[in-house]
Structure 1
């Protein structure tokens, strides 16, 4: 079986290289219609959920989680990953992912970055609060929304995701027997 590994790895690498080369033709330059490239940024907050609301979507009493990492993923019109960024929250739990100078809006899945991009929790720097929660779909992929900051027609758009949270691993029992 070990003899097949280098051959299968070489085939996989060549297939990925060919796919990447063919994909760049779709987006690297504005099309003949003159569509502008779209600079996409996604912002949001990451919190540490309080023990009082563990196993719920409630963020009452939650505190910002500095240094938490999230990933922002966007899909192309064929539903393939076309952009991906991992970012770290600042000291206030705020993150801003800049996906850079991307393709025109029409190249995104269903022609709309709000349908093509999502945010997922990646890691927490706090070992006491590093269990993932699915608050606002932080595990499945939190949808982004248009906040009216910038416009695809202007070639720039800032989107936002709902607040995401990690929860404590261990909490004191709520009932005493």
Structure 2
């Protein structure tokens, strides 16, 4: 009886080990690993308009490029993707959770504006982090194998609205240089 019980335990442990190895292999190759979706809107905000138009008169921009970059634990890029906005100014970038056997962690990804085809509204702003890039935080939705992040709207503006950089870094005077 002990021999039969021992054999059953050995068979059960080997079966569990086999299942665990298959699970890891499927995750490493991207099979059944799921996806991370990053989406949002890109709008044009014109500061030359009156207050009411400036606050509520944003227009979606079609054809803007938005990128998502993900890093691994050693700060190397493991994913770079981009999407162009549709007529409503919306974009969606879909990322596999496993790339080349490495798990993509959403908190190591950031999204930023790349370009605008609009000849008038093409200066990126940092409203909602669009110019410098915004890290993915808590997901907006988690459903089965999909984690979705919906980011606040990013904005472009007109050249008249662009603020000049007034940092002292560019000022040659005051750095101790003698001329």
Work out whether the TM-score is over 0.5: yes
Q: Which runs of 5+ in 1 are unaligned?
A: 1-26, 172-177
SS of aligned partner of 2:119: coil
Q: Which runs of 5+ in 2 are unaligned?
A: 1-23, 162-179
Q: 1:125 aligns with which of 117, 127, 130?
A: 117
Does the 8 Å contact 2:97/2:103 carry over to 1? no
SS of aligned partner of 2:136: strand
Aligned to 1:168: 158
Asked whether 1:148 is paired with 2:141, we answer yes
Aligned to 2:93: 97
Provide the TM-score with structure 1 as the length reference.
Answer: 0.63
Shift in alpha-carbon separation, 1:162–1:36, aligned structure 2, 3 A: same
Cα displacement (A) at 1:149: 3.9
SS of aligned partner of 1:170: helix
Aligned to 1:47: 43
Provide the TM-score with structure 2 as the length reference.
Answer: 0.63
Q: 1:83 aligns with which of 56, 73, 79?
A: 79
Higher Cα radius of gyration? 2
Shift in alpha-carbon separation, 1:102–1:132, aligned structure 2, 3 A: same
Aligned to 2:13: none
